[in-house]
Structures are given as structure tokens and as C-alpha cells.
Chains A and B, each alone.
Chain A
């Protein structure tokens, strides 16, 4: 915003929520700065005006009026509640992703960020997103807790090894902005950084057309066969496992007569800890895949199950011609997906360059 010298005193403002966060921040700076200044001036005035002199060796005693005490108890309380409300108002914007957001998946590991696009692109420490379009990142960690922070977008969320979390942003200015890990994660914590490239829609389309190994869902389908999931989840009602078609996003009746929504975390848990929630009418026979399926592969399996889900219902409006819904089930790269993605293989882009 302002470059007073050759170093920034204020971060780049490059997302829709950044404006709200900055307005709240600057408002608070003005309010609290003003009040603090007033207090310091009063203290300074008293300290000089009533400095100790021979004629006032002892202070005059004043009776404390209770009204004054009540005033500076109640007024700050009301102001603080006002600050809470303003903060909560902005928070709701930051937390609620629009329905038409573009999905991106992120995996944190010591010490890099891996991003996967529904169309199959994978990148490390670089994330390409289109400008003026909401992007929702679904993320998990392979090891310790990390935290994905985009200072220019004013959003951040811890990335957990135990479940999926999401954050979203809508970039407003094409450009290149920092990605930082904000939760201390070990030796190279300060090296767990990258760049988000915000691109004009046409540039983004050109980038999407670059090399890929097929959509995430199609890669997930291959994994579904590789891990022999299809021997039980046969896709009809004869299998030992439930039919996954149309399950995603729907309530599932469990064996204890409760229901759970088949969201991202439910599917993740069903793969890693199948005994936690048993679908009614099925035996608890599924083995755990904890330690066998990597976070990257989980994301692909999730994308596959998601694609099964939307086949049964009308697809939501998605603007991208190569969004992950429409691209599902169109394998254009028959090569087998390497298991447990290593850090150096098969990434389309690295270090901020792209084909």
C-alpha cells in the first residue's frame, strides 16, 4: 500500500478479504492509539504538574467518586465488545468460502508445500491461481503441524496431520506473493516458503493446458484399483463395502443409528480408521490404510469418491472448462501413478516457472 522507504511498512493488499482486515486493523490502530496517547498525556501532565515539591510533600486525599469507576469499567467493556463484533464480522467473511470456489489441495511436509489441482497439475512451493476467482484450499499434513499463510491475502490456517482443513481467498491483483509456513515445524521451518502466482484468466488457462497425468479423480480411480478398494466397493449393492456412488456430501446412516455427513474428513477417516464409523448393514471388516496411503494419494482417492458423488446428482455450476468435475474419468495419461509421491518426481512446475 505505501512504500515510504525502500522497505514495506504495510503488506500488499491482494485479496477481497484483505480490504476488510486492513480496515479493521487501521481502525483499531486509530482507536487504541488515540486512547493510549490520551492516557500517556494525562500521566505525563500529572507527573509534571504534581511533581513533589516542599509544599506538597504529602498528597491531598481525594474521595474516589464511584461514578468515575463505573464509567471506566462500563465504557471500555462496551468498546471491547464492539471490537469483538467487528472482528467476528470480518472473520465470517474469511471463514466462509463461496460455493463456486475452485478447489486446490495442499499437503504440508517437512519442509515443503505440495499443491495438487483437480486437473492433475502438481507443484511444489509454487501455487498458480487465477485472479478474481475464489480458490478453496483443502489441506493436511504428512508429519507435524504446519500453517499455510498468504500474508498478501490476510489468510492463514494451521495444517494438521489428523484431518482436513480448508481456507479460501479471492486474489484481486495478478502478481507473485509470499507463501509462508507460520507454525514452527523443525529445522528448515523458515525454508518452508514459496510463491503464489496470481494469473490473468487467459494466462491461467494456458498454464492449465500444460503437462498433466490426468485429472486428480482419474488418478484416484487408478489408486482405487491399486489398493484393491474395488474388490469390496464394487460399485453396486453386492459388495462387502457400501456403494460409493452418490455418497459424497450426503448423510450416511451408521450402525449405531446415528448419521454422519460424508464430507472430506469422513472419507479420510473411513480410509485411515475404518472402524470409527460403520455404515449400517455392513460388517466392520475393512482394514486400516493408515501408513499405507500417503497424504497425496488420499487427496486423489478423495477426488475420486467426490467425482462418484457428483455423478449421481446434477453437477454444480463450475466455470472452468477443465474443472475437476468435468475432467473426472477422462484419463489421458495411462502411465501408472508412482506410489507415495516422492518430493522430486512428476511435478509440472517448480520454482515459479511453468511450461
Chain B
């Protein structure tokens, strides 16, 4: 029978047999698991917790900024809160979120493998992450840190008397979790693809994860080195960055951004990975220009290493290096633009579904476009001199990190929720929360572009009274955004028990993860799949599925 339709696939009765969730019970079956899917769940719980911790700080900052005077928090508390917001969100949420949760769960399944190449290292990376996170939580409980997440010297090494050591040590440790995950992914993608799954049949998710992993492997050690040097200077007084000890504070910024700019791509490439999958699934179409999208991920990963000093255009680099980094910054925008054009073109003559993940995708494209083009403003030297270290920058990177990465994470969580849990989320609540997130986000961050150009510096506890109206708008938006983020917490947990049971392929999508049961068995597939279709090739996939079911 070759007339398998998408409708048939969607309503196959969920597996009553064993799957990875009911394979074992008990706390140790989770804490000592080597199953990439269970480790993904552990990560999901941890990063969600950290997201709400970081979100709490953000909300307190917005409340403080309702009025020009510094009246709700003291200056020291405010400084600690924006530092902790940055540290928690970047090191403990954004960097691990998509790779360690969705990547961990999906990568082996998309490759038709039973697990990652090194399951024990995978579990180790979660424990390493947790040790780093515990350092972070210790800092929060014991009094905080006030250096900003960038730990600029000599403030961090000689002047701050907060918990700089514990924080940087936490970030240092967490870095190893990234390195281990990256290593695991690279080896798995090279060595564990199913028969027939050639490089150019790989889902674009895998291409992007591959680029992300390479960046993680090459960039994170530089962060580790930098933080070690910082800790040495702070504790032992060895002069590296402090000019009073013969060091150079600008050197610190070079080293820090040599990691932290590629880290931006560690955060956004996985988001692009999710968006490519969702666009293909919710347009039921092959991604337009597959190879261009795939290679643009590698180009971003490669060029991402060559633009770090655009964070330092007013910091004291020479006119000529500023010119070079400005030029390279313009080039790194090209592959991102290519992706947006290709996603758009994919929708032409497609079958566009308006389900929640697609709403997040549309939101992502809109917000990422704004984030991307405002990056061009910042890369243009004449403008950067004015808006550097202003709210314009704050708005820009939140459009990329929150409007991009968090939107994509939510798209991915909704898209793969039936696969991960075997249950559907409630569609209308999810659509409502997607709408709230989109509206709340824009109201929060768009006014900040204007604020920055008008002249409000970032990291200001108190500000000039003429900036108040835009700040009130921003805080109002943050309130809506908070509701938008809390809603999924409620209805996703609700759906674990009360959600409609999902079939193996509730969306009628193409991909190996939709060719197994929901939730998948512990070994992912009952028999090793053989891939006979190109990525997102609906007719070929349906034919292959039809044959499988007729066996």
C-alpha cells in the first residue's frame, strides 16, 4: 500500500508498550541515566529553573526603572541584579538551552542512532553544568556579584569586593559542560549516522548543531583561560590586566570577546536549527536552498571568530583595527540574511499551518530581522561611537538573544513536546502565550532602541527624567512578557497528565524523530532505520513510512 497519507500517520494509536519514560522508575534511574533523552529532561528542568531565576532579576530591574530615581533597590543591589541577570541567563540558560535540551534529545534520533557517541560523558556534562550552577546559586544567596556579566578588569580584579571569584569559577566550570557537549555532538554526527543518511540528507538542525559544537569546542577554552587569568590576578595580585600592576585592561576585553562573540553564535545557531525544522514541518515543504542554509551555518561559525573587537570599537583599539572589524562584522551579517530569505522563500506555494510552533517561527523571523539590522547600525563605525554602551545595544542583543533564541526555544519545545512527552499541549493556550510573548517582547525592547539613541547609557540605576516615558513602556511590556513566559510553565505541566495523547507524527512532518513512537523507546528505534529520502522530502518519506508499516 503506497497511499499512506499524513492523516494516517497522525492518528496511529500511541505505543502502549515501553518507552524511555516508563522503562525505569526511581530517582537513581534519572540521576545515573546514560540515556540522552533523560539527560535532556534533566537539562530542561535545570535550565528552566535558571531561566526563571534570571527572569526574576530582569523583572526587578524593570520595576526599579519605572522611576528615574533609584528608589526601589540600592545602587549596589541594582548592579548585582543586572550582573546576576546576565550571568544566569547567558551561562546557565541561553548557552545550554537549545543544544543541551533539544539537541541532546533529538540529535541521536535524527541521526538514527541509539544514543550519543559518549553517553557517560553526556551525563558528566550535566553534572559539570550543575556544579557550575551551584556556584552561581551560592553567589546569589551569599551576597551577589556586581561586575556585570563581562567581568571587565581592573574593576573585577582590584575594585569589586563582591563574589567575583565564585562567579567566574562557576562560569569556568560550566564552560567544560559546553566543551563536553560539543565534543559529543561532533563525534556523534561524524560517526553515528544511520545507513543512507549522507551529509546532504541531514536535517538542517544537525548542520547547525554541528557548527555550534565546533564553535563550542574552539571558543570555550579561551574563556576558561581568560577567567583563570582573571582569578590569578584577583587572588594572587599577579599583574596581567591591571595597569597599576603593569597589565593591560584592554587585553582582557580582547580575550573575553574572543570567546563571548562566538558565544553569541553558540546561542543563535541552535535557534536557527530549530527554526529550519519548524519551517519545514509547518509549511510541509523542503527548505528552499538547503545547501545555502547548511553552509551559511558553517560560515557564521567561521566568521564569528573574526569579529570580536566590534565590542571594543570605543574601548581603545586603533582606527585601522576598528575599520577591519567593522568590515568583517558586515560580512557576518550575510549568512544570517541568507537564512531569513530562504525561510521566507520556503513559504511560497507551501501548506502553511498556523499552529503554535509556527507562530513562534513567524515571531522569530520578525524579531531576528530587527535584531539583525540593528546589528548593522552597531557595526557602522560612525553610529557605534554614539550608541555603544547605550540602551540601543541592550535592545539589539535582546532582540537576538530573547527575540531570537528564546522564541526559537519555545518553538522547539512546543514542536517536539509530543515527541518528548507523548502528550499534546493545549493549542489555544499556547497560541495565546505566543501572542503575549510577541507583544510583550516588542513593547519591552523596542522603546529601548529609541532610549539608546536619545542617550540613555546601559547599566544605569538612576536616569535623567526625560527618559521616563519610554522606560515605563518598557516595564509595562516586561509585565506582559512575564505572563507570556509563565503560561507555558502551567499548561505544559498540565499537559503531562491531561494533554491529548500524541501519535508518532502528530504534525505530519518529515524526519527520523517522527518515524518512531512518541515517546521514543529507550533505544530510540525498534530497528535501525535506513534512510532513503532527502531532508524534508515529503513524498519519499511517506513512501518509506508506508513500506515500513506494511512490513
Among listed B123-131, B147-155, B513-521, interface-contacting one: B147-155
Could you tell me the distance between the alpha carbons of A53 and B105 in the complex, rounded to whole angstroms?
32
B194 / chain A contacts, CB cutoff of 8 Å? none
Could you tell me the distance between the alpha carbons of A158 and B315 in the complex, rounded to whole angstroms?
5
Docked-complex contact A39 and B344, CB < 8 angstroms: yes
* Interface core residue of A6, A73, A86 (most chain B CB under 10 Å): A73
Among listed A62-70, A118-126, A130-138, A313-321, interface-contacting one: A62-70
B353 / chain A contacts, CB cutoff of 8 Å? 51-52
Docked-complex contact B349 and A190, CB < 8 angstroms: no
With an 8 A cutoff between CB atoms, is A59 at the interface? yes
Could you tell me the distance between the alpha carbons of A28 and B333 in the complex, rounded to whole angstroms?
15
With an 8 A cutoff between CB atoms, is A263 at the interface? no
With an 8 A cutoff between CB atoms, is B196 at the interface? no
Docked-complex contact B246 and A144, CB < 8 angstroms: no
| Total interface residues in chain B, CB < 8 Å | 96
Docked-complex contact B379 and A88, CB < 8 angstroms: no
| Cβ-defined partner of A9 (8 Å) among B290, B333, B351, B454 | B454
Docked-complex contact A186 and B159, CB < 8 angstroms: yes
Docked-complex contact B362 and A68, CB < 8 angstroms: no
A39 / chain B contacts, CB cutoff of 8 Å? 340-341, 344, 365, 369
Flag A209-242 by CB within 8 Å of B: 1 or 0 each: 0000000000000000000000000000000000
Q: How far is the CB of A86 from chain B (nearest CB, A)?
A: 7
With an 8 A cutoff between CB atoms, is A305 at the interface? no
Docked-complex contact A95 and B379, CB < 8 angstroms: no
Docked-complex contact B389 and A83, CB < 8 angstroms: no
| Total interface residues in chain A, CB < 8 Å | 90
| Cβ-defined partner of A61 (8 Å) among B285, B377, B386, B453 | B285
Q: How far is the CB of B270 from chain A (nearest CB, A)?
A: 22
Docked-complex contact A182 and B457, CB < 8 angstroms: yes
Could you tell me the distance between the alpha carbons of A69 and B148 in the complex, rounded to whole angstroms?
41
B334 / chain A contacts, CB cutoff of 8 Å? 73, 76-77, 80
| Interface hits, A1-48 → B, CB 8 Å | 5-11, 17, 20-21, 24-25, 28, 32-33, 35-36, 39-40, 42-43, 46-47
Nearest-neighbor residue (CB-CB) of A61 within chain B: B286
Docked-complex contact A47 and B362, CB < 8 angstroms: yes
With an 8 A cutoff between CB atoms, is A282 at the interface? no
Nearest-neighbor residue (CB-CB) of A56 within chain B: B351
Docked-complex contact B466 and A8, CB < 8 angstroms: yes
Among listed B27-35, B318-326, B410-418, interface-contacting one: B318-326
B244 / chain A contacts, CB cutoff of 8 Å? 161, 290-291
Could you tell me the distance between the alpha carbons of A235 and B250 in the complex, rounded to whole angstroms?
36
Given A40-B369, A145-B155, decide whether A161 and B249 contact each other with a Cβ distance below 8 A. yes
Given A43-B362, A52-B351, A62-B349, decide whether A91 and B385 contact each other with a Cβ distance below 8 A. yes
Flag B283-303 by CB within 8 Å of A: 1 or 0 each: 111101110100000000000
With an 8 A cutoff between CB atoms, is A323 at the interface? no
Docked-complex contact B382 and A21, CB < 8 angstroms: yes
Flag A79-98 by CB within 8 Å of B: 1 or 0 each: 01101101111111111000
Docked-complex contact A11 and B461, CB < 8 angstroms: no
Docked-complex contact B382 and A89, CB < 8 angstroms: yes
Docked-complex contact B389 and A47, CB < 8 angstroms: no
Docked-complex contact B326 and A162, CB < 8 angstroms: no
B248 / chain A contacts, CB cutoff of 8 Å? 162
Could you tell me the distance between the alpha carbons of A143 and B152 in the complex, rounded to whole angstroms?
13
With an 8 A cutoff between CB atoms, is A156 at the interface? yes
Given A43-B344, A190-B462, decide whether A73 and B349 contact each other with a Cβ distance below 8 A. no
Could you tell me the distance between the alpha carbons of A154 and B453 in the complex, rounded to whole angstroms?
9
Nearest-neighbor residue (CB-CB) of B538 within chain A: A58
Nearest-neighbor residue (CB-CB) of B390 within chain A: A182
Given A186-B146, A190-B463, decide whether A68 and B345 contact each other with a Cβ distance below 8 A. yes
* Interface core residue of A11, A24, A81, A144 (most chain B CB under 10 Å): A144
Flag B526-541 by CB within 8 Å of A: 1 or 0 each: 0000000000001100
Could you tell me the distance between the alpha carbons of A92 and B319 in the complex, rounded to whole angstroms?
8
Docked-complex contact B344 and A88, CB < 8 angstroms: no
| Interface hits, B451-508 → A, CB 8 Å | 453-455, 457-464, 466-470, 508
With an 8 A cutoff between CB atoms, is A191 at the interface? yes
- CB<8 Å pairs between A and B, sample of 6: A36-B369, A50-B351, A59-B283, A61-B539, A144-B155, A161-B243
Q: Which 9 A-B pairs have the closest CB atoms?
A: A90-B382, A87-B380, A151-B455, A91-B381, A32-B373, A162-B243, A46-B347, A59-B285, A190-B460
